[in-house]
Structure 1
Amino acid sequence: MGFPSISKFLFGPLVPVLRIEGIITPNTTNSIGNKLRKINTSRTEGLAVVLDSRGGSTGQCQTIRNQLLQFSKDNNIPLYCFAENFATHGAYYILSAGNTIYVNPTSIVGNASEPQADIDFSQFLLKNQIESRIIASNPLVNEYRFNWAIKDSEKDKKFIQEITDRISKLILGDIQVSRGKNLKVNEELLTKEYTGKQAINNGLADQFGTYEAILAEKFPLAKLDHTSLTQFSFISSYQWNSRFGKAIPLFLLLSLFSLKVFIKYTLIIQSYLLVSSQEEGQEKEKKVQH
């Protein structure tokens, strides 16, 4: 048995469960990265990612997706992704990284396009006689095109649309590579939202299932670690017996051998001390006689 499997033998296999909920931000990315670094890969038999999100920062979603794929590849650990209520936009981008994707019948998934939200405050500022001023060496810098205080020109809108389309094409291309032949829709239909059943029928997902049920079926002896991802976890008496039952005779043998060695060297030390004390007593008697 190699060293990397000792902790699995002693403490049992582990399946970390990473939850991604709400708006995805840089804090989400940092949290996922920290948890991945803390995983004891020698015990881990699979990694589960549970999503309930409508996405967020596209850049952060891409970073999280790449982190999960790299972790799975480097450690040869399968990645299982689960959609709960929602996994749309960037959240579906992350979901698509799974070796197997699970959804609920009521899940809403898909719409993997790149959204660009903006608020036009130009009329409000004008009405209240508030003027926004920007001084730049180049009047075409992006500050103008993404400034909520200035009404976008048709040229600015076209520029923003081109950027959005390029990002969307990149996302959709990654999803098509991940899903491969399972995907039954083109890029245009991939930007729509689907229920769980529709997602399975169109290849955006693979099966129905919750993470508790699926992981219990696939890894009946594994501990699901939802939060700390530390190296130690409680295992049930059934799991303990199933792992250690066959090893009990070996443990007893090692214990007997250790006890035998301990008794042997204890007797040797006692004999040495006894002889030393006798020799010391004889020397004292000789000194007294002289």
Structure 2
Amino acid sequence: MARNVLIVYAHQSPCSFNAALKDAAVEVLQKQGCQVTVSDLYSLNFKASATAEDVIGELKDPEHFHYGEETMLAWQEGHLSPDIMEEQKKVKAADLIIFQFPMYWFSVPAIMKGWIDRVLTQGFAFTFQAMYNNGIFKEKKAMLSFTTGASQSMYSPAGLNGDLNVTLWPLQNGVLHFCGFQVLAPEISYSPGYCPPEARTQILNSWRKRLEGLWTEKPLTFTPCELFNLSFQGGFMLKDEVQAAQAKKKYGLTVGHHLGKPIPPNNQIKADD
């Protein structure tokens, strides 16, 4: 059975390096027999802002509009706006989602953030009973593929921009892992705008080679929900015995759950060996 891949793509120019990375992914994955769909957000003129217009029909509480509650109800009743429903169909069909974008202000472009805000609605993408490693999309894979304006050294723990592992934590843990995705290590193309042509060719060839074995890659490691007291009484904190077991270890569990210790090296960039 053919695998389905969705590429959520955010760049304005078809001549960009992001476009080249996207095209390489389409080419290699289709050669593997995958069904590849590209959501070109700029070509779609995808609406970035999450507003009451995303609900078709009457609101539950028009006097005090709550986006999360209203869109969850609209999803349940099939009353979300057509552009959201179309993207949700693509997500539902996908075995793998690749987010292809240039890093803007240490995050995704606004149009892609709008896709995240609007498409990954409560009920469809998560509930507060089904999240993280028990999440709705736990059978699906997802990954970031992005370009930077700065060099790799600038995103190191001693670099001017700081540790990229910290930068990626909100997207990879707070969005993808929260929805249950198995998060593959990101594909990072450092500073292609300042690279000579032969270096850009090498980056593309490396991406193509990785894509050939992508389905067998081990996902990044996150702390499972079972290690936490999942109640208001327990404060949703790591269990006492877990914290005690970690006391003598050099590193914390993850970038986010560092327990006041050094962050595990490359926790958000490479899978554990």
TM over 0.5: no
TM-score, length of structure 1 as denominator length: 0.24
The higher relative CO (CA closer than 8 Å, separation ≥ 6) is in: 1
Structure richer in helix, relative to its length: 1
Rg (Cα) greater in structure: 1
TM-score, length of structure 2 as denominator length: 0.25
